[in-house]
Amino acid sequence: MNGQDTADASGHVYDIIVKDRAARGPAPHLDDYRRVCAEFSWESARAMLTGLPGGGLNIAHEAVDRHAAGPRAERVALRWLGRSGARRTLSYRELRAETNRFANALVALGVQPGERVFVLAGRVLELYVAVLGAFKAGAVVCPLFSAFGPEPLATRMTLGDARVLVTTDTLYARKVASLRERLPGLRHVILLTESGAPAGVPGTHDWSTLLAECSTDFEIVPTNADSIALLHFTSGTTGRPKGALHAHGAVLTHHVTGHYVLDLHDDDVFWCTADPGWVTGMSYGIIAPLSNGVTNLVVEAEFDAQTWYGVLQDEAISVWYTAPTAIRMMMKLGLEALAAYCLPRLRFMASVGEPLNPEAVVWAMQAFGMPFHDNWWQTETGGIMIGNFAAQDVKPGSMGRPIPGIEAAIVKRSTGGAIEIIGDPDVEGELALRRGWPSLMRDYLHEHERYEKCFAGEWYLSGDLARRDADGYFWFVGRADDVIKSAGHLIGPFEVESALMEHPAVAEVGVIGKPDPMAGEVVKAFVALKAGFAPSDELRKQLLGHARKRLGAAVAPREIAFRENLPKTRSGKIMRRLLRARELGLPEGDLSTLESDER
Amino acid sequence: MNEQQIRAMVADALAEIAPEVDVGAVDDSSDLRQALDLDSMDFLNLVIALSQRTGCQIPEADYPKLYNLKNMAAYFAD
């Protein structure tokens, strides 16, 4: 492979990174890509899991109890670094006891299997205990991002019919208390406090008081591979967020990708920097590392490049899974910042969230002596589907090749819902996966029709545009829809537009993703005002503050621009695509549906 | 620059980035990112704004010195 080149969209040429077969560390699990793919089947991979003693399958049993009952019982399962320097650890044995306590607490509260337990907190250990304990009780876990504002929280808790919410006293006071009346189905709110002392807020339970009375023994509620375990909200172009449902069987994908893609070995210390309020932090910040029985690091503090280098060194991280925005911030800090650190244990680095630009992959060779291994997946796929592997050559800028057990193709949608598979290399089309892997979503909550639209026969259609080269490597091209990807988070333009529409001055809004060197894209809103309102700097700030209060910093626009009129189709639909093309100076494309143009 | 001047400058800069926040309600040793619900992009934009207002080049390595108002005042004191 040496001597071949790869080129990115702008024609920049990057050398293929050829792996040194005598590299440090243990032999990679996926040593021979073709052989492992040929021999792999999901049925035989099931032997990597244990299953419940009486038959059936439960994520928490695979992630906690089976290790607690074996030689890994005293191994640290979760190692937590607090914001102010505090440290706590839970061994697999202790994690079994704590999660049993919480499962007992849910049963005592009358929570039924299948009912929804929402979690909204920063990266504190109790969050991990709550998630795993809820699995044990047969509840469906739905994570919420702690930087969401009240509106995204209310929407998701309403759509998901939240029965229980585990959150902190601070987040409750700031964002949830005012929503309680709108959430009649939310029967129990359980509050965590930083000190561990009861918060004593009316209408809530205290975590510590509740758990103190509960036994550390619990028999996992019988679940099987098809029992729903997780509800992950994700954003679409139109309408409300989609609630992707995943079953306990998904743990097999989490385990297998932890094994083959993240290359987790028994003595690894693993750090996934993603927040468990999003799907990566759930699948790879909780389930995959624990299922593989390694020590999983949890860092409470927000991103800070130098703190992170210190964590990599001091915690002797061997496998690290992070995201492009953070990597680009580290690049900006420069190589000198890394010079003071010594990272002999670091063996494998991966990235997900949005495509990793080739410069970042190459920079990592200088900075860490190894590349970041980009991979691709979505909330709907539940786990990594396409990736770059420890023992395989890396083409900078490519998302890699399908994991064992996954067949990916580039397809073109034709009329009548059919698709055509594109066999030729280097042709752009939609990335599709042949269904049949265990972590594929089972449905969109209450929206089965929307779910059905994601499939054409045996193929799941991702909505991502990509191409495949002659060596079988996939390259991301763009989104087929208007969804915005900012700092690795998927943002639905409709949700942002709806919040701005609530402001009395606003007549219409179109929201787009504007390219940004750091975050990939940032949210930009175009606003037309109602009669009687005039554009002003004061009003712009008012709208910005209004949106941020409702949506939170992660979802709200960073930029607002006024227009007299927004481009619309005959049916009155705002043409975001045209707003975006004009913002970026791109060709405007087909304007045949344009009825009323931008002014 | 004293702490009062720093507060005024930060408030002025945040009026563009996060107009909903009240800098007056934050005590000088609280981490602004948590106290005001600023995410990392907001913080980055704040640093850029402070750099423009003071004419100071702020290298990335110094960002941790700008997490609260007290440290900020010390940073811009000279």
Query: Which of A148, A541, A542 to mutate to probe the B interface, most B CBs <10 Å?
Result: A541
Residues of B in contact with A488 (CB under 8 A): none
Same domain? For A419 and A528 the reply is no
The rounded distance, in Å, linking the Cα atoms of A551 and A147 is 9
Asked if residue A505 and residue A392 are part of one domain, the reply reads: no
Per-residue tokens: A564: 């007299």
Nearest Cα residue in chain B from A302: B40
Using the beta-carbon criterion (under 8 Å), do A553 and B42 form an inter-chain contact? yes
Instruction: Inform me whether the pLDDT recorded for A257 exceeds 80.
Output: yes
Q: In terms of CA atoms, which chain B residue is nearest residue A523?
A: B41
List, as one string, the DSSP characters of A56-77: ---HHIIIIIHHHTSTTTTSEE
- The answer to whether residue A472 is domain-embedded is no
Dihedral (CA of A217, A219, A224, A226) sign: negative
Q: Kind of pairing, strands A348-351 and A319-322?
A: parallel
Residue closest to A215 by CA, chosen among A106, A110, A334, A292: A106
The predicted-structure confidence for A20-75, as pLDDT tens digits, reads as follows 766 668 999 999 999 999 999 999 999 999 999 999 999 999 999 999 999 999 99
- Whether the per-residue pLDDT at A553 is higher than 80: the answer is yes
CB proximity B25 to A under 8 Å: no
Of B38, B41, B61, the CB nearest to A558: B41
Q: Are residues A523 and A390 in the same domain?
A: no
Alpha-carbon distance A254 to A211, whole Å?
Answer: 29
Q: Is the pLDDT of residue A3 over 50?
A: no
- Does B63 reach chain A within 8 Å, measured CB to CB? yes
The residues, ordered by sequence, that sit 6+ positions from A49 with a Cβ below 8 Å of its Cβ are A57, A62, A251, A252, A255, A291
Nearest to A545 among B19, B38, B63 (CB): B19
Average model confidence (pLDDT) across chain A = 93
Phi and psi torsions of A242, nearest 5° = -95, 135
Q: Which of B33, B42, B60 lies closest to A333 in CB terms?
A: B60
Q: Identify the CATH number of the domain in which residue A310 sits.
A: 3.40.50.12780
Residues A423 and A530 in one domain: no
**Contact at CB, B20 and A519, closer than 8 angstroms:** no
Give me the CATH number covering residue A522: 3.30.300.30
> Structural domains in chain B?
3-77 (1.10.1200.10)
| Facing B15 at nearest CB: one of A147, A304, A541 | A541
Tell whether B70 is within 8 A of chain A (Cβ): no
A313 in the same domain as A186? yes
Helix H or strand E segment including A563: strand A559-563
What average pLDDT score do residues A261-289 get? Answer: 97
Q: Determine, yes or no, domain membership for A101.
A: yes
| A351 CA: distance to closest CA in chain B (Å) | 18
Is B37's Cβ below 8 Å from some Cβ in A?
Answer: yes
Q: Which residues on chain B are in Cβ contact (under 8 Å) with A174?
A: 37
Q: Do A532 and A454 share a domain, yes or no? A: no
Domain count, chain A: 2
Domain boundary among A467, A497, A516: A467
Same domain for A491 and A450?
Answer: no
A419 and A361 within one domain: yes
Is a pLDDT exceeding 60 seen at residue A528?
A: yes
∠ Cα A373 A375 A380 (to 5°): 160
The CA distance from A212 to B74, in Å, is 45
* pLDDT in the model for residue A6: 52
Residue A483 · residue A495 · CB < 8 Å = no
What integer pLDDT is reported at residue A501 of this predicted model? 93
Residue A422 C-alpha, separation from nearest chain B C-alpha, in angstroms: 39
CA distances (Å), origin A291, targets A118, A119, A256, A264: 22, 21, 9, 10
Is the CB of residue A501 less than 8 Å from the CB of residue A487? no
**A42 in a domain, yes or no?**
no
Residue A486's closest chain B neighbor by CA?
Answer: B41
Range of the domain at A581: 487-596
User: How many Å lie between the alpha carbon of B77 and the closest alpha carbon of chain A?
Assistant: 23
Stretch A223-237: mean pLDDT: 94
Task: Tell me whether residues B41 and A548 touch, CB distance under 8 A.
Answer: no
Q: What is the pLDDT of residue A24?
A: 67
Closest CA of chain A from B60, distance in Å: 5
* B7 and chain A in contact, CB less than 8 A: no
Distance in angstroms (rounded) separating the CA atoms of residues A491 and A551: 11
Indicate the residue among A467, A497, A526 that finishes a domain. A467
- Per CB-CB distance under 8 Å, the chain A contacts of B37 are 147, 174, 552-553
Whether B60 and A305 lie within 8 Å, measured CB to CB: yes
Question: Taking CA atoms, what residue in B is nearest to A175?
Answer: B37
Average pLDDT over residues A373-393: 97
Q: Does pLDDT of A9 surpass 70?
A: no
Domain boundary among A437, A467, A497: A467
* A80 and A152 housed in the same domain: yes
Query: Are both A440 and A513 inside the same structural domain?
Result: no
Say if the Cβ atoms of B20 and A325 lie within 8 Å: no
Size of interface A-B (CB pairs under 8 A): 55
d(CA A102, CA A65): 14
A265/A311 same-domain check? yes
Q: State the pLDDT at residue A23.
A: 64
Structure confidence by residue, pLDDT tens digits, A473-501 = 999 988 888 899 998 888 999 999 999 99
**Residues A94 and A123 placed together within one structural domain of the fold:** yes
Task: Say whether residue B57 is in contact with chain A using an 8 A CB cutoff.
Answer: no
CB atoms within 10 A of CB A482: 20
